[in-house]
Structure 1
Amino acid sequence: MRILEWVCGAIEKIINFIIIVCLMMMTVVIFYQVVLRYVFNSSNIWAEEFARYAFIWVVLLGAASALRRFQHIRIDFVVNMLPERGQKLIGFINYVLIVGFLLTLIKYGIAISMKTTHQISAGLHIPMSFMYLSIPIGAALMLLFTIQIILRDYLLPSDANSPALERE
């Protein structure tokens, strides 16, 4: 379990670094586009496309990082009224449903990526499969982090590592 925790922590650090780099590049490219448009009364075709695609990658990688840190929005006022055992059961069922959803995203994300390998984007001239790969990659990372949570909090809990009912 410690190895899985270490691997997931290392992957999350890499994800966060990629997110930071993408956000900085988006900021620079969007600033460049604004200057071109309003100062020089011109524009280019790749800047908007780059910002859009970088944003898609940021969202999907960020969703994985947020899942690992329990930072997704939760509506849990009804669940909090249940006894601890009921809360734990609902949490486990929730994560099992998340696994099913993520497996579906991976399956269909790979399928759409394979179908778009020969399509080229208009502005950046890159294969569209690169953009569609963000879906299965983001879902696979979320699946890894979900499996880590299930193992740590529900299947292999220890006294020091009780189920995560009250996360930040």
Structure 2
Amino acid sequence: MKIIKKTLDRILESLMYVILISMVLITLWQVVSRAILKNPASFTTEFLRYALLWLALLAAAYAFGKKAHLSILFVKDKLNGNTLRILNLFTESIILFFSFTVLIYGGSKGVIQGMAEKSSTLPIEMGYVYIVFPLSGTFIILYCLIHLLDLFKIDKTITKENKVQNTTM
């Protein structure tokens, strides 16, 4: 599992690096073309808007994978044992449902519809912009499955440790 998670992390990190570097370069070009050349490039604003969308959704998936997303810790910190496990299972189930229905299913419908629309200044169909929704949903689902497997692995480890402690007493 650690190899799969590390691979997912590296893929997302690489994509986010490329997007962020391209955003910096395009912004630099926008400033140069506007201030020095006195002829602002028309595609830069639209590209940056789409790149920011991609960056935000991929970063959300990355943060979820690192368990760095928003959570209500004051409730979670007061729970332990089976109650905490049930809460974690419930939370991961809700995230799986949302990721599949909204990001993957809804995002796929948006991609299909977006293939009929052209970007106003970029030579691409809008479906290529919207493809980040099912892509990020897929990453979140993969991370969610890893979290669930880790949760069950921890439960098995705790059960084995309890059995060993009970037999040695």
Q: TM-score, normalised by structure 1?
A: 0.86
Deviation at 1:48, TM superposition (A): 1.0
SS at match of 1:67: helix
**1:119 aligns to 2:107 (yes or no):** no
Cα deviations across residues 7-35 of structure 1 (Å, max 9, x unaligned)?
A: 23212201101110110110010111122
Separation of aligned partners in 2, 1:119 and 1:100: 29
Cα deviations across residues 46-91 of structure 1 (Å, max 9, x unaligned)?
A: 1111111111111111111111111112222022122333222211
**1:72 aligns to 2:76 (yes or no):** no
Query: Which residue of structure 2 aligns with residue 142 of structure 1?
Result: 140
Structure (1 or 2) with the greater helix fraction: 2
Separation of aligned partners in 2, 1:84 and 1:40: 65
Percentage identity across aligned positions? Answer: 24
Q: TM-score, normalised by structure 2?
A: 0.85
How many residues were matched structurally? 156
- Where do 5+ consecutive residues of structure 1 fail to align? 161-168
Query: Which residue of structure 2 aligns with residue 163 of structure 1?
Result: none
Q: What letter corresponds to residue 77 of structure 1 in structure 2?
A: F
Separation of aligned partners in 2, 1:148 and 1:156: 10
Which of 47, 51, 56 matches 1:54?
Answer: 51
**Structure 1 outlier segments of 4+, above 3 Å:** none
- Where do 5+ consecutive residues of structure 2 fail to align? 159-169
Deviation at 1:108, TM superposition (A): 0.7
Query: Which residue of structure 1 aligns with residue 9 of structure 2?
Result: 12
In our comparison, the structure showing a higher alpha carbon Rg is 2
Pairwise CA RMSD of aligned residues?
Answer: 1.6
